[in-house]
A and B are shown apart, each in its own frame.
Chain A
Amino acid sequence: MAGSKTYDPYEAWKNLMINWEKQANDVIHFWTNSRDYIKWSQGATDLQLRYLEMFQRNQQLLLTQLQLPTKKDLANVAKLSIQTEEKLDALEEQLWNVEDAIESTNKQVGSLTEVSREAVKVIKQLKTEQKRDKKELETIDEIHFELLEIKRELAEMNSLKEEIASLKAQLAGSKQDKEKELAALTK
């Protein structure tokens, strides 16, 4: 139905109650906002507290006579457990420091291990190089020996050459002698 709205009695009641509540609260604040009310309120509180104090005193007396712990006794025990908790907390925090120290030591040890691992690697490399050098040295020794051999052989060849030269000279001398003998014979 265009233009018409449904009446909700609950909604109307709600609006009425909310307005009433607001006005009632305003009235209460207005009435209680006075020195007289405050004095009366303090008097009522004092009276209530006086009765409660009396009750507490009597209860404590009774509990003491019955050898039973009072609320204060139980509170004292609870306070001891709170103190223990605080000590445990302090210990935990100290353990944090130890934990942190161990962690940093572990880190240092880790870096030292890393360094020593590097050193081992370098030593291994050096050893390999040393082996290689040794082999090279052996090769050089062999070459040196061979050179000496060649030198010796060359020296031997030189002496052979000299012998051949002297034989050659002897042969030339004997040839001349023979020619002289032949010339003498032919004459």
Chain B
Amino acid sequence: MQPNLLRRAQKLTHRPAFWGFLFISPWLIGFLIFTAGPMLTSLYLSFHKYDLSSITYVGGENYRRLLVEDPLFWKALKNTLFYASVSVPLGISASLAIALLLNQNVKGLKLFRTCFYLPSLVPSVAAALVWEWVFNSDNGILNTSLRMIGVTGPQWLQDERATPWAFAMMSLWGVGGARMVIFLAGLQGIPDSYYEAAKLDGASGWKCFRNVTLPMLSPVMFFNLVLGIIGSFQVFTSAYVMTGGGPNHASLFYALYLFQNAFEYLKLGKASAMAWILFSILLVLTYIQFRTSKRWVYYEGGDK
């Protein structure tokens, strides 16, 4: 028995997978306990009415009420979709633009890179407070500047027509962060020889960008797009700090409404159902992106 067991153990240690699992085990155990566990629990809770003190099975009632009876759910979803559709393209173009600028060979490049990266290091609550000041309709820097050129700015955070745009604008705050760094890394991975070849063929700056930079960056772009969309659906802190979802629920984003249901009204079943609906939406969106990516993402050395 003993030698048999030993042999089996030896056999196990000879398999590369064993070592792989062994080395990732700290993460794996953490994932199972702190991510997969709570996820399954929330799936279970989404079919229950749960307020921390009593729990009753209600079947799909939480889902039905959300989809059929809750106007705020749809409002929050609409707000979030708008935010995502504006902030993702805007953010990605801005990040790419900054990355392109910071990829130039100019004096003080390191200083510029640091400066552009700095805003993303500011804690999001602090940034939200700064933006609250920027958006102040009477004394804010934005409307004061607009006034100088003779334009009366809107009441950014008090007018429900302006508020969604204010939040979309605010999403630009983090464009110099991780996403820009990824673009920068992508840019530096493009061999100079491609540009040289293009130039020899007479390509202008724009043509180089269009036909060399963009295709070569497309995997990075794809990565940023997937993460950007997921991130934008989770927008929370700015609205939580600045408006609490107002005015008239104009900044009630999905994650904020979920948070309110879970931790302010203690409707944990409803909140769990919301989380799973969000998960399904993101799953579908990501799937679509992966399917369509074959048409526009170019992997060097691989099939198009």
Q: Do A and B come from one complex?
A: no
